[in-house]
């Protein structure tokens, strides 16, 4: 039993009481995007109802009040990630933009032949921005292998590090395998090689406590919409050093210090990376989501979600042709699976008939699918508001899908 009242939590998510195809909703697609509690909606609505103006400009009361709320959200993100200062947090529109900004920002420091090491379990948003550097700078991308259990092959990874390595960018928790990579263990190896260490914390930050300072990383990204917050907002943590080294991507208002006809000088980070009007309301919503999740103990949340995961796995193991993807020792509550002879899309469509939402496809991880030797998988991913009833219905639904599809 979780140390929190699940009924009380569910009551804070109005959407969870709706029906889908005449059945109560069992929402098990949290790794793609999570539902939002009333507290988040209220915070955004309250701002619009009581005080709204553009931030950082204007000397009137509402401009100052809105700036205060916006900057308070930045401080919450900094605190949530264990950053030394709010100045180390850049707001982006999500994790994808945070990773693109980082890769683009480091381009002036990358030369032909320089190596960028990522892994076979990366999300496309932590692969494609590095392909851009490969295409434009002549950088070389090397993929650290993933083992049969779905873990990063640490020995192989370590042997790939060299003086040529300029960047290492790894996912903290895989959105497909659930694998949690030992970032704190890896960081000293990357630093010893003299490379930047970037971590995609999009999934991990939803389920486990993060402290970027203790992890020893140079940059770390998270996203609002998977953390029970709004879409259109993410946060990039960067050390003073990396944020100074990075070139800005967007040019415009707010990001400059001085603009002349023949040159421009930039504002200090984080503002250097936030040209134009930022996603003000979304940032305030992210701040509210952080406040909301922090009322719970992450260990309790993790225990609850893993109990659901293990119950689901126990129920599914006996289903004819069931195959689990991702058996890492350290993993989060993501259950990727297939049924022999059945297309994952068909499984998801049958589950949807019963009101059960799961994802099927490549999950933006084509190199990982190739490594696993499959075209796609079905994925159930658990969040704080899921229940044993959701699990029972998932297991029942997959059993029916197996009968129907085999
Ligand atoms: C969802 C996801 C992303 C992309 O995040 P967005 O905020 O949707 O752009 C990146 N990496 C991982 C591991 C993800 O799960």
Topology alike, domains 6-30+297-405 and 41-293:
no
Instruction: Assign residue 398 a region (left: φ > 0; alpha: ψ between -120 and 50; beta: otherwise).
Output: alpha
In this structure, what are the phi and psi dihedrals at residue 343, rounded to the nearest 5 degrees? Answer: -80, 130
Residue 2 has pLDDT above 70, yes or no: no
Atom of ligand 1 nearest to the CA of 125: 10
Residue 275 has pLDDT above 70, yes or no: yes
Distance CA 35, CA 16 (A): 8
Place of tokens 């103990």: 297
Give residue 3's pLDDT band: very low, low, confident or very high (50, 70, 90): low
What's the gap in Å between 308 CA and the centre of ligand 1? 23
Q: Is 95 in the pocket of ligand 1 (CB under 6 A)?
A: yes
Mean pLDDT of 47-61: 92
Q: Is 286 in the pocket of ligand 1 (CB under 6 A)?
A: no
Domain ranges of the chain: 6-30+297-405, 41-293
Contact 95, 221 (CB under 8 A): yes
Mean pLDDT of 17-34: 98
What's the gap in Å between 192 CA and the centre of ligand 1? 28
Give residue 175's pLDDT band: very low, low, confident or very high (50, 70, 90): very high
Span 6-30+297-405 CATH architecture: Alpha-Beta Complex (3.90)
pLDDT tens digit sequence for 312-325: 999 999 999 999 99
Mean pLDDT of 358-383: 97
CA atoms within 13 A on the CB side of 187: 15
pLDDT at 333: 98
Distance CA 10, CA 204 (A): 22
What's the gap in Å between 264 CA and the centre of ligand 1? 33
pLDDT tens digit sequence for 156-167: 999 999 999 999
Atom of ligand 1 nearest to the CA of 234: 7
pTM of the model: 0.97
Mean pLDDT of 129-151: 97
Mean pLDDT of 231-249: 98
Give residue 342's pLDDT band: very low, low, confident or very high (50, 70, 90): very high
Q: Is 234 in the pocket of ligand 1 (CB under 6 A)?
A: yes
Percentage of the chain exceeding pLDDT 70: 99
Contact 189, 207 (CB under 8 A): no
pLDDT at 277: 95
pLDDT at 170: 98
Residue 303 has pLDDT above 80, yes or no: yes
Residue 219 has pLDDT above 70, yes or no: yes
pLDDT tens digit sequence for 344-354: 999 999 999 99
Q: Is 202 in the pocket of ligand 1 (CB under 6 A)?
A: yes
pLDDT at 300: 95
pLDDT tens digit sequence for 278-300: 999 999 999 999 999 999 999 99
pLDDT at 59: 87
pLDDT at 395: 98
Q: Active-site residues: which are they?
A: 364
> Which residue puts its alpha carbon closest to atom 5 of ligand 1?
95
| Mean of the per-residue pLDDT values of the chain | 97
Mean pLDDT of 91-117: 98
Span 41-293 CATH architecture: 3-Layer(aba) Sandwich (3.40)
Q: Is 203 in the pocket of ligand 1 (CB under 6 A)?
A: yes
Give residue 308's pLDDT band: very low, low, confident or very high (50, 70, 90): very high
Residue 1 has pLDDT above 60, yes or no: no
Q: Is 125 in the pocket of ligand 1 (CB under 6 A)?
A: yes
Distance CA 123, CA 203 (A): 11
């Amino acid at each position: 039993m979780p140390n929190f009242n699940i009924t009380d939590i569910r009551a804070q998510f109005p959407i969870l009481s709706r029906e889908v195809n005449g059945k109560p909703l069992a929402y098990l697609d949290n790794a793609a995007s999570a539902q939002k509690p009333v507290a988040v909606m209220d915070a955004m609505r309250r701002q619009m109802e009581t005080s709204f103006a553009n931030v950082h400009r204007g000397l009137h009361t509402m401009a100052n009040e809105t700036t205060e709320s916006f900057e308070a959200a930045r401080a919450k993100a900094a605190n949530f990630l264990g950053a030394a200062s709010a100045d180390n947090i850049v707001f982006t529109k999500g994790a994808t933009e945070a990773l693109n900004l980082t890769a683009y920002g480091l381009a002036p420091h990358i030369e032909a032949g320089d190596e960028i090491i990522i892994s076979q379990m990366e999300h496309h948003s932590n692969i494609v921005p590095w392909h851009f550097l490969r295409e434009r700078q002549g950088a070389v991308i090397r993929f650290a292998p993933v083992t049969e259990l779905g873990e990063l092959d640490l020995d192989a990874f370590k042997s790939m590090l060299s003086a040529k390595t300029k960047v290492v960018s790894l996912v903290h928790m895989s959105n497909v395998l659930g694998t949690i990579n030992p970032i704190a263990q890896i960081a000293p190896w990357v630093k010893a090689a003299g490379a930047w260490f970037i971590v995609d914390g999009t999934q991990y930050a939803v389920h486990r406590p993060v402290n970027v300072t203790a992890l020893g990383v140079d940059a770390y990204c998270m996203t609002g919409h998977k953390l029970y917050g709004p879409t259109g907002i993410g946060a990039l943590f960067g050390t003073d050093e990396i944020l100074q080294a990075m070139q800005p991507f967007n040019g415009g208002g707010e990001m400059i210090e001085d603009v002349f006809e023949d040159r421009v000088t930039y504002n200090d980070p984080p503002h250097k990376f936030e040209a134009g009007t930022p996603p003000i309301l979304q940032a305030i919503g992210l701040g509210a989501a952080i406040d909301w999740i922090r009322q719970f103990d992450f260990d309790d949340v993790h225990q609850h979600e893993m109990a659901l995961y293990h119950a689901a796995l126990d129920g599914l193991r006996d289903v004819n042709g069931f195959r689990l993807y991702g058996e890492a020792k350290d993993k989060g509550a993501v259950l990727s699976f297939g049924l022999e002879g059945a297309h994952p899309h068909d499984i998801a469509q049958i589950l949807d008939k019963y009101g059960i939402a799961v994802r099927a496809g490549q999950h933006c991880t084509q190199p990982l699918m190739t490594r696993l030797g499959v075209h796609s998988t079905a994925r159930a991913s658990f969040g704080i508001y899921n229940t044993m009833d959701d699990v029972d219905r998932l297991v029942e639904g997959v059993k029916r899908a197996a009968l129907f599809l085999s």
